[in-house]
């Protein structure tokens, strides 16, 4: 039986809550640690969409990055968003657990994941974390050293990075004179005594001070054990906000910005600086990290990848010789949070707890798309008549999707069909994507045509596949046949070809993540002529964008 408290302990092990900023609110925000849990939903934040998904997926707990409750509430009512959502969580008996700045700073957390997504090498924290710890220095009889040391270790003392049970000791002598009323464990009262002792030193997080002192005193044989507590003011070089690293090779700023966009599954991203300038030293601060500009990040990096950059901050960066890539706050954090869910799932393996994920809409802003949403048509169709499902490719023999077992028979009769295509005029050049989702009966359920900026044909094909899979998931499709005319992408998705290109590798990982959210799915190759409807949407998007 797994409880909410077990989930909290697991998160604390992966991203210790003690790493969080003092102003932050992490850990259990709504719910009871004793409640049983069989499903956990990982999402960026606890909004209505997350609670709807948790109900649909039978998840009793939400693990989110953004705190539901930022400020102390004077009242808990339906009159404000946080209160309403907290009441909903309580009413539905769903726990809300927050991993925020602790996960930003932790090993394998948000910053590390984004740095890995960008293929950075030789990474280190951009802003090392203060130790925010204490050191206990105690004096223990030699024969009781192991007992006392084990006691303080058992409550969390002695953890340094990836190492536990860390301590330092040196032998010495302790002296005392027991006055009337004393009852010394060694020697006798009324005379000076000399006892062989060990000076024991052990560090611990600030939050554990009472527990560690209690464990030390409880295990110590003396009536009045001697000890000191010192603040540790040094930094932990391996932990902290952001990451600084090197690209495998220098790239033009515009090319690097395009690669960041591809990794974050965005059609394009803003950048500031000379697009032809070669950059290699990369600083990334997922979320909102423009304050690094004033702290002198230009001294150590060619470009800063972060979000929420204001105009005057961008001007200040350029004046310092620092280029910027504006990675939207929520987009970067959501991509990292969804990938971190795999770490949480591994840590909970064997507990019987399912880990589900939710990709939430990106922020509150929407982009106006010039391309109109017209029915899918053959580019050369007479009189422009819509193409029906029967005009599209018949289903060829089933192929295996990488990571999934062969299915001798289909278990789902209501199978939708998805046709996707992407292409560029120039390779690389202006690129567009198209997708058509058909019902089992061949009716057009939905479609999309979008211009994605400058990209190669292969990147466009992957972006089209990603957009189409998301389209199907938004329509709550469970069983899907996917058709592409890119043999390379199909073979890579099905595990027949290795993915060596780093940009395609990131897109391949995102596609695999989406594919595994379907109950049944097959990805198949079709000739271009049989993918005409999606191809027409690509051309429509490019024409509408003036290319």
Q: Is 453 left (phi over 0), alpha (psi -120 to 50) or beta?
A: left
Q: Is the peptide bond before 428 cis (omega within 30 degrees of 0)?
A: yes
Residue range 188-209, pLDDT digits in tens: 777 888 888 999 999 998 888 9
In the predicted model, is pLDDT for residue 374 greater than 50? no
Predicted confidence band of residue 488 (pLDDT cuts 50, 70, 90): very high
In the predicted model, is pLDDT for residue 237 greater than 70? no
Mean predicted lDDT score pLDDT of the chain: 85
Range with the largest mean pLDDT of 74-78, 123-127, 532-536? 532-536
Q: What residues pair up with 160 in beta bridges, in sequence order?
A: 163
Q: Which of 62-76, 334-348, 380-394, 519-533 has the lowest mean pLDDT?
A: 380-394
Strands ordered across the beta sheet of 270-272: 121-130, 235-252, 278-288, 303-307, 323-326, 270-272
Question: CB neighbours of 420 closer than 8 A, spacing ≥ 6?
Answer: 433, 434, 435, 436, 461, 464, 465, 467, 468, 482, 483, 484, 534
SS3 (DSSP) at 96: strand
- For residue 435, how many C-alpha atoms fall within 13 Å in the half-sphere facing its CB? 25
Helix axes 81-91, 48-56, angle to 10 degrees: 10
Pairing between β-strand 323-326 and β-strand 270-272 as defined by DSSP bridges: antiparallel
Predicted confidence band of residue 133 (pLDDT cuts 50, 70, 90): confident
Quick one: average pLDDT of 344-363?
Answer: 87
Which pLDDT value is given to residue 21?
85
Pairing between β-strand 270-272 and β-strand 192-205 as defined by DSSP bridges: unpaired
In percent, the amount of the chain with pLDDT more than 90 equals 57
- For residue 318, how many C-alpha atoms fall within 13 Å in the half-sphere facing its CB? 14
Contact 265, 335 (CB under 8 A): yes
Which pLDDT value is given to residue 388?
31
Nearest one of 486, 479, 490 to 402, comparing CA atoms: 490
SS3 (DSSP) at 43: strand
Contact 505, 499 (CB under 8 A): yes
SS3 (DSSP) at 85: helix
SS3 (DSSP) at 347: helix
In the predicted model, is pLDDT for residue 405 greater than 50? no
Please tell me which residue, 361 or 215, carries the higher pLDDT value: 215
SS3 (DSSP) at 189: coil
Residue range 19-59, pLDDT digits in tens: 888 888 999 999 999 999 999 999 999 999 999 999 999 99
In the predicted model, is pLDDT for residue 95 greater than 70? yes
Predicted confidence band of residue 394 (pLDDT cuts 50, 70, 90): very low
Quick one: average pLDDT of 143-149?
Answer: 95
Predicted confidence band of residue 408 (pLDDT cuts 50, 70, 90): very low
Which pLDDT value is given to residue 431?
93
Residue range 415-446, pLDDT digits in tens: 899 999 999 998 889 999 999 999 988 889 99
In the predicted model, is pLDDT for residue 392 greater than 50? no
Q: Show the CA angle centred on residue 62, arms to residues 59 and 64, nearest 5°.
A: 150
In the predicted model, is pLDDT for residue 520 greater than 80? yes
DSSP code for 76: -
Cα distance between the two ends of the chain: 59
Which pLDDT value is given to residue 412?
67
For tokens 């058909």, what's the residue? Answer: 438
DSSP code for 88: H
Predicted confidence band of residue 369 (pLDDT cuts 50, 70, 90): very low
In the predicted model, is pLDDT for residue 393 greater than 50? no
Residue range 246-295, pLDDT digits in tens: 999 999 999 999 899 888 888 778 899 998 999 999 999 998 888 999 99
Contact 197, 170 (CB under 8 A): no
Which pLDDT value is given to residue 218?
95
In the predicted model, is pLDDT for residue 185 greater than 80? no
Predicted confidence band of residue 132 (pLDDT cuts 50, 70, 90): confident
Please tell me which residue, 517 or 293, carries the higher pLDDT value: 293
Strands ordered across the beta sheet of 27-30: 27-30, 95-98, 61-66, 39-45, 354-357
Strands ordered across the beta sheet of 133-141: 168-177, 192-205, 133-141, 227-232
Question: CB neighbours of 529 closer than 8 A, spacing ≥ 6?
Answer: none
- For residue 89, how many C-alpha atoms fall within 13 Å in the half-sphere facing its CB? 26
Contact 16, 164 (CB under 8 A): no
């Amino acid at each position: 039986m797994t409880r909410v408290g077990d989930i909290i302990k697991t998160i604390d092990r992966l991203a210790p809550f003690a790493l969080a900023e003092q102003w932050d609110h992490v850990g259990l925000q709504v719910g009871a640690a004793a409640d049983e849990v069989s499903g956990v939903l990982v999402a960026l934040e606890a909004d209505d969409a997350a609670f709807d998904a948790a109900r649909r997926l039978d998840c009793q707990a939400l693990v989110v990055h953004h705190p539901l409750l930022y400020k102390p509430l004077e009242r808990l009512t339906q009159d404000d968003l946080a209160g309403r959502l907290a009441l909903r969580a309580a009413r539905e008996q769903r726990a809300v657990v927050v991993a925020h700045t602790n996960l930003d700073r932790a090993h394998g957390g948000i910053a590390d994941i984004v740095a890995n997504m960008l293929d950075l090498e030789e990474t280190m924290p951009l802003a090392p974390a203060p130790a925010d710890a204490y050191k206990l220095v105690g004096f223990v009889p030699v024969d009781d050293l192991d007992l006392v040391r084990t006691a303080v270790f058992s409550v969390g003392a002695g953890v340094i990075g990836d190492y536990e049970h860390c301590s330092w000791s040196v032998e010495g002598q302790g002296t005392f004179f027991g006055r009337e009323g004393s009852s010394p464990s060694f020697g006798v009262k009324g005379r000076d005594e000399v006892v062989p002792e060990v000076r024991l030193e052990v560090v611990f997080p600030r939050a554990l001070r009472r527990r560690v002192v209690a464990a030390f005193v409880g295990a110590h044989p003396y009536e009045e054990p001697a000890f000191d507590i010192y603040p540790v003011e040094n930094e932990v070089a391996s932990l902290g906000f952001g990451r600084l690293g090197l690209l495998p090779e220098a790239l033009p700023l515009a090319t690097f910005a395009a690669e960041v966009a591809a990794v974050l599954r965005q059609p394009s991203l803003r950048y500031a600086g000379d697009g032809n300038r070669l950059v290699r030293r990369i600083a990334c601060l997922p979320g909102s990290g423009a304050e690094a500009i004033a702290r002198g990040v230009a001294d150590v990096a060619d470009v800063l990848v972060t979000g929420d950059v204001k105009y005057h901050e961008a001007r200040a960066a350029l004046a310092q010789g620092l280029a910027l890539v504006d990675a939207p706050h929520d987009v970067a954090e959501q991509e990292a949070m969804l990938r971190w869910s795999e770490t949480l799932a591994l840590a909970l393996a064997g507990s019987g707890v399912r880990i589900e994920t939710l990709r939430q809409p990106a922020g509150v802003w929407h982009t106006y798309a010039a391309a109109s949403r017209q029915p899918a048509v053959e580019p050369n169709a007479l009189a422009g008549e819509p193409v029906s499902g029967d005009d599209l490719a018949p289903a060829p023999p089933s192929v295996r999707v990488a990571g999934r077992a062969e299915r001798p028979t289909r278990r789902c009769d209501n199978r939708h069909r998805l046709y996707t295509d992407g292409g560029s005029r120039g390779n690389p050049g202006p690129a567009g994507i198209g997708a058509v989702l058909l019902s089992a009966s061949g009716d057009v359920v939905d479609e999309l045509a979008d211009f994605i900026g400058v990209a190669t044909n292969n990147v466009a094909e992957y972006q089209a596949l990603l957009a189409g899979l998301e389209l199907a998931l938004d329509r709550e499709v469970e069983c899907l046949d996917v058709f592409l005319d890119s043999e390379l992408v199909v073979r890579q998705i099905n595990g027949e070809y290795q993915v060596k290109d780093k940009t395609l590798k990131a897109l391949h990982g995102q596609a695999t993540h989406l594919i595994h959210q379907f109950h049944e799915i097959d990805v198949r190759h079709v000739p271009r002529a049989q993918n005409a409807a999606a191809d027409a949407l690509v051309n429509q998007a490019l024409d509408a964008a003036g290319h």
